[in-house]
Structure 1
Amino acid sequence: MKTIKLNSFRNVNFPSQYLTVKVVNGSSGNRVLGTTGKYPSDFTLPATFALDKQLKIHLYKEDHISIQLWGESTGFIASSTIDMKEYKIIYPIDMETQSDSVSFSVLGSWE
């Protein structure tokens, strides 16, 4: 996993702040696998974030990989879990995951 694109999120009167994205493994106690840089919340979307390190994740073995949106002043904003049952293997990785309040695209490559 190399980059994550924040397509949209429900901005419910949040103050202007910096946003970051975290990749979390929920099956191992919500362990943070990677984070991104900061992006101003009042800038336009979509916004592409590079991960701090290229993650090597076995997506079909990891059941609870969650992509989370965090605000610098508000903390946790929203998340979406990658459900691998919805995807076929395609090269390179370009998947979308969304919930009621946030939409992400996950980009990378298979090894």
Structure 2
Amino acid sequence: MADSGPPVTGTAAHDVKRDRVGLAIDQEASRKPRHIFRFADHVIRHAAEGGIIYEAFCVAYECGAESGPQDEQNAAQDWALRHSGRTGHDLFRRVVTDHAHVTRVE
């Protein structure tokens, strides 16, 4: 940090200066680490044992019908097709949910 002014008066015995935006900086305290951060790369991958869940939701005004969780994509899609045939509703929200493992790259 650049020294942009004289030391602040009326402070503790160690050197306190102002930074560029005028904040008091305690020079002695800034030399002592308070936190140590360790940064590491990670990777995220599909977790097959968690399976995949498929759902379809009718978003027609005040309908709220849904397929419920399905293990097969075709089951959710077939529900949406049947619902559309019965009601004439033609807009659906599809949700696919899976599980993932995050591991640190060595």
TM-score range, shorter chain: 0.3 to 0.5
Structure with the largest fraction of helix = 2
With the length of structure 2 as denominator, give the TM-score of the two structures: 0.32
